[in-house]
């Protein structure tokens, strides 16, 4: 659904996006993670043809971009850098104008389409206030509604939960999962690790313009080969497991042994109580931090080597 090869964007001497190879497959909920300033929004804008790449190739839905924009973009819903709207018009009126821009004079079904997406994103269909009175969260919902008008095969969203309260974030998450189950591929740019972890099936991590991770969520969050133990007899357990102990924090121990059953047997057979035992698993934050640190060390090494050679 999205494929890039060597995608690069330079602004003068600065590489905002540096040789990125994305692979977003049909049916994915793909989380595109990175800190503010990492190049996420620039990448999204290049995918949609809003910014021209300095180098590399882009394919959306199997066709080259921006060359095939006229045929590709009608099948893509997008929300980038906040929704655009006429502030004096209601949300419903704005969506009607957007539908008219996309479908010309064909008005059949417009009222139903607009009402449907307004309800989907949790706005009030009867609200006649101008968009200028909307909160940031309401504007985000309106932007998402505009992205859904065409019933897209692919949704490209840049920080779609920005400005939403926890309840709103939960509602949008459930909506996106429902859309995905119905066949929509979703590309979600975000800096919120927790949201990506709960929502996405695949993840790409951008750090200073470079793609440092791209893999299935299940693979990234797999077992580390170590065991986590919780025991009220932590002091005795520390003494027993000293040779394999990685860390101890209160009643929580991490043991350098992937055989949780063997660790449990050793503790219990020594008369120690075990409240919880199981394999340690990486969380997304650990993956992102490790990959970013490794990439920065590699880049610093290249810089240092260049200084030495000069």
DSSP character string of 34-50: --TTSSHHHHHHHHTTS
Please write the tens of the pLDDT for every residue from 40-86.
999 999 999 999 999 999 999 999 999 999 999 999 999 987 667 88
Q: Is the pLDDT of residue 155 over 90?
A: yes
Task: With cut-offs at 50, 70 and 90, classify the pLDDT of residue 212.
Answer: very high
Q: Is the pLDDT of residue 232 over 50?
A: yes
Cα–Cα nearest to 75, from 148, 141, 144: 148
Cα–Cα nearest to 208, from 135, 292, 113: 292
DSSP summary character for residue 4: E
Assign domain 2-220 to its CATH superfamily.
Answer: P-loop containing nucleotide triphosphate hydrolases (3.40.50.300)
> What is the model's pLDDT at position 299?
62
> What is the model's pLDDT at position 285?
79
Task: With cut-offs at 50, 70 and 90, classify the pLDDT of residue 222.
Answer: confident
Of 154-158, 163-167, 257-261, the one with minimum mean pLDDT is 163-167
Q: Is the pLDDT of residue 303 over 50?
A: no
Q: Is the pLDDT of residue 304 over 50?
A: yes
Domain chopping of the chain, boundaries: 2-220, 223-281
> What is the model's pLDDT at position 22?
97
**Could you write out the three-class secondary structure of the chain?**
CEEEEEEEEEECCEEEEEEECCEECCCCEEEEECCCCCCHHHHHHHHCCCCCCCEEEEEECCEECCCCHHHHHHHEEEECCCCCCCCCCCHHHHHHHHHHHHHCCCCCCHHHHHHHHHHHCCCCCCCCCCHHHCCHHHHHHHHHHHHHCCCCCEEEEECCCCCCCHHHHHHHHHHHHHHHHCCCEEEEEECCHHHHHHHCCEEEEEECCEEEEEEEHHHHCCEEEEEEEECCCHHHHHHHCHHHEEEEECCEEEECCCCHHHHHHHHHHCCCCCCEEEEEECCHHHHHHHHHHHHHHHHHHHHHHHHHHC
Contact status, residue 140 vs residue 163, Cβ threshold 8 Å: yes
How big is the chain by its Cα radius of gyration, in Å? 24
Beta-bridge partners for 291:
none
pTM, two decimal places: 0.79
Q: Which fold has domain 223-281?
A: Alpha-Beta Plaits (3.30.70)
> Whole-number mean pLDDT of the chain?
88
> What is the model's pLDDT at position 296?
66
Q: Is the pLDDT of residue 306 over 60?
A: no
> What is the model's pLDDT at position 60?
97
Q: Is the pLDDT of residue 308 over 60?
A: no
């Amino acid at each position: 659904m999205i494929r890039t090869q060597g995608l690069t964007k330079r602004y003068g001497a600065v590489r905002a996006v540096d040789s990125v190879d994305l692979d977003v497959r049909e049916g994915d909920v793909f989380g595109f993670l990175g800190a503010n300033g990492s190049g996420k929004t620039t990448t999204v804008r290049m995918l949609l043809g809003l910014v021209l790449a300095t180098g590399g190739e882009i394919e959306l839905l199997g066709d080259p971009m921006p060359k095939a924009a006229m045929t590709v973009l009608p099948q893509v819903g997008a929300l980038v850098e906040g929704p655009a709207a006429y502030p004096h018009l209601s949300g419903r009126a704005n969506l009607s104008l957007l539908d008219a821009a996309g479908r010309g004079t064909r008005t059949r079904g417009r009222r139903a389409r607009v009402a449907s997406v307004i309800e989907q994103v949790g706005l009030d269909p009867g609200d006649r206030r101008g968009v200028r009175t909307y909160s940031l969260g309401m504007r985000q919902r309106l932007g998402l509604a505009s992205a859904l008008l065409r019933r897209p095969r692919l949704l490209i969203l840049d920080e779609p939960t920005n400005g939403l309260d926890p309840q709103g974030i939960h509602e949008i998450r459930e909506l996106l999962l429902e859309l995905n189950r119905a066949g929509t591929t979703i590309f979600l740019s975000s800096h919120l690790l927790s949201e990506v972890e709960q929502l996405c099936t695949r993840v790409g991590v951008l750090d200073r313009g470079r793609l440092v991770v791209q893999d299935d969520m299940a693979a990234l969050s797999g077992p580390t080969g170590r065991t986590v133990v919780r025991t009220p007899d932590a002091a005795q357990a520390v003494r027993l497991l000293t040779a394999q102990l990685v860390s101890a924090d209160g009643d929580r121990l991490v043991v350098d042994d992937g055989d949780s059953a063997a660790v449990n047997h050793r503790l219990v057979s020594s008369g120690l109580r075990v409240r919880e035992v199981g394999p340690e698993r990486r969380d997304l934050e650990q993956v992102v931090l490790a990959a970013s640190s490794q990439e920065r060390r590699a880049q610093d090494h290249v810089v240092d080597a260049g200084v030495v050679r000069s």
